[in-house]
Amino acid sequence: MTTQAQSISQPDPKRWKALFLLCFANFLVMMDSAIIQIALPSIKETLGYSQENLQWVMSAFLIFFGGFLLLGGRLADLFGNRRIFNLGVIILIVSSMFAGLAWSEMSLNVFRGIQGLGSAFIAPAALSLIMLLFSSNGKEMGKALAFWGLSGAAGGALGIVLGGVITEVLGWRWTLLIYVPFGIIVLILSPKLLQKAGRKAMGRVDYIGAILVTVSSMLIVYGIVTAEHSGWRSFNTIVTLAVGAVLLLIFLLVQSKKKEPLLPLNIFKTPNLAIGNISVFLIAASWFPLVYILVLYLQQVLQLSPIIGAMAMLPMPVFMAIFMIVLAEKVMAKFGIKITMVTGFILLGAGAIIFSQTATVEGNYLTNVFLASLIASLGNALAYLPATTASVSDVVSEMSGIASGLYNTFYQIGSAVGLAVIVAIAGATTASSTAGSSVVALNDGFQQAFFWSGIIAFVGALLVLLFARSPK
């Protein structure tokens, strides 16, 4: 059974093992931006970063990851999902080794960027492979996408925990070197569990479109992630975002005229694909900064140590695992994509709003954090699964790679936009606070951050209510 057509008509007997491998790869990709957060102070001390330049350890990865996702998806369609998946894993292994051995600020930034490139090839190819493996059974597809969503959420949340443990026990370099043995395991198992694509999409790489969308995406992500330090009104931020937006418009114009475009615009005719991707963007824009601010609140306000603070985050991925696998799939099957997504957004927003009220200076974990974590995790699980399903499940198989690339692009840019906006709000609130204590002023900023994370989720609920279509 080597052809795509065969995999659709007759399920692959190894599909669940293959799913585990692909979800593990997604876990590694999503962990990459989180595992290094707690290691940043150690990296600063070792390599001599300034406080302003330290952000590039994170930003270099995010810019290349977000910039190359669409190209990675298209290459997966044209040259085979498994081939591009393996190429991405090889790039991740090599770049992680050199990043872990980094000898200077510049060398770490460069290899973090290359890590992002490898991840941009892995993520869309892996999701496309899942869509093909489970395309013959709708119930299995729902369960597979639930595991996929869980693997990404767990990578982000557990990455913080692992980063704290590894940094303290082995040193910060192992937060990067750990990808070498893990990546080698994925490469060894890949030919045994993942099928070669039989029938690939016909056509050539749209190099003009690839250059335009990659540069525009990188400029937009760069402008967003540096706005926190440069300021939203700074000349550099405005020019970078404006040029990125103009190039994106040119890209869309070129795609509408091309016979073999990088992004076929008719993909948006797929029912609910557009609102699915917008929902993914808003979920990331709400959830990612919520988790980031919560980590800071636990350490800087409640004064938990890095490891204890990281362990305090552990219940969130556990909640997500339970809710996504046990509950979200059944709720979506019974009530449909629209109702499930709206409910999820409302609960996610409610959890964030509760955080904005209970996250106090005199607080403690059980009474001030646990309940809101439970509600927000449930909301994320209920919103994420139908948003992912709407974004990728109904796309024709020849466009599965580009649909996966589009989905991942919306998620990554949503994370970057949400984090930059929410951190800016928190910083402005803290700076303008009249509180006598610096901790109280800091907490005022965190409360506003939680509040606006909730508002983003409520906007998602409203948009889904207005634009999502319930299938007949």
Which pair of tokens denotes residue 278?
């917008």
Say whether 170 sits in a helix, a strand or coil: coil
Q: Can you give the pTM of this predicted structure? A: 0.85
Tell me which long-range contacts 325-331 makes (C-beta under 8 A, separation of at least 24).
325/143, 325/146, 325/147, 325/150, 327/378, 327/381, 327/382, 328/146, 328/381, 328/382, 328/384, 328/385, 328/386, 329/142, 329/143, 329/146, 329/385, 331/382
pLDDT over threshold 70, residue 5: no
Residue of 215, 182, 127 lying closest to 402 (CA atoms): 127
Who has greater pLDDT, 200 or 409? 409
Segment 152-183, tens digit of pLDDT: 878 877 787 788 788 888 888 999 999 999 99
Which among 116-125, 319-328, 402-411 has the top mean pLDDT? Answer: 116-125
Burial of 253 (0-12, 13-18, 19+ CB in 10 A): exposed
Nearest CA to 133 out of 24, 16, 25, 29 is that of 16
* Average pLDDT of the residues in 46-62: 78
Residue type, 293: I
pLDDT digits (tens, 9 = 90+) for 430-451: 888 776 678 888 899 999 999 9
Q: How confident is the model at residue 2 (pLDDT cuts 50, 70, 90)?
A: very low
In the chain, % of residues over pLDDT 90: 38
List pLDDT tens digits, range 347-366.
999 999 999 999 888 878 88
CA dihedral sign of residues 74, 408, 35, 82: negative
Q: Mean pLDDT, to the nearest integer, of 287-293?
A: 87
Question: Distances in Å between the alpha carbon of 424 and those of 224, 229, 237, 417?
Answer: 11, 9, 13, 11
